[in-house]
């Protein structure tokens, strides 16, 4: 399994979910998780993160992602 590293250049000191919309794109999710966008694409490719594809883009429901992060897979599905 690939190890994902946090990107200190995009890390923030404020509450990460405060300014984010309900539906996130890859760059917004990368900012929330403090990883590079390529790490998000890796997780999508390996079905490690819940997402929806809209055309050529991927979208993520913020509440689903927060449940996924907390390990609550029932609500993340």
Q: What is the percent of the chain with per-residue pLDDT over 90, rounded to a whole number?
A: 62
Q: Would you say residue 28 lies in a domain?
A: yes
CA 11 to chain centre: 14
- Count of structural domains within the chain: 1
Three-state DSSP state, 74:
helix
Choice between 68 and 75, residue whose per-residue pLDDT is larger: 68
Q: How many CB atoms lie within 10 A of CB 29?
A: 23
Q: Would you say residue 12 lies in a domain?
A: no
Predicted local confidence at residue 76, as pLDDT? 64
> How many angstroms separate the CA atoms of 76 and 70, rounded?
9
Q: Would you say residue 15 lies in a domain?
A: no
Q: Would you say residue 1 lies in a domain?
A: no
Q: pLDDT digit string (tens) for 27-53?
A: 999 999 999 999 999 999 999 999 999
Domain membership of residue 42 as a residue range? 23-76
Helix (H) / strand (E) containing 30: helix 26-33
E-strand ranges in 1-77 read: 23-24, 52-54, 57-61
Predicted local confidence at residue 36, as pLDDT? 98
CATH number of the structural domain spanning residue 68: 1.10.1660
| pLDDT of 57 higher than 90 | yes
């Amino acid at each position: 399994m690939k190890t994902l590293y946090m990107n200190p250049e995009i890390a923030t000191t404020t509450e990460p979910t405060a300014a984010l919309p309900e539906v996130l794109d890859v760059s917004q999710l990368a900012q929330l998780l403090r990883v590079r966008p390529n790490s998000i694409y890796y997780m999508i490719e390996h079905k490690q993160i819940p997402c929806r594809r809209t055309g050529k883009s991927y979208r993520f429901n913020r509440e689903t992602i927060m449940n996924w992060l907390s390990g609550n897979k029932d609500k993340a599905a």
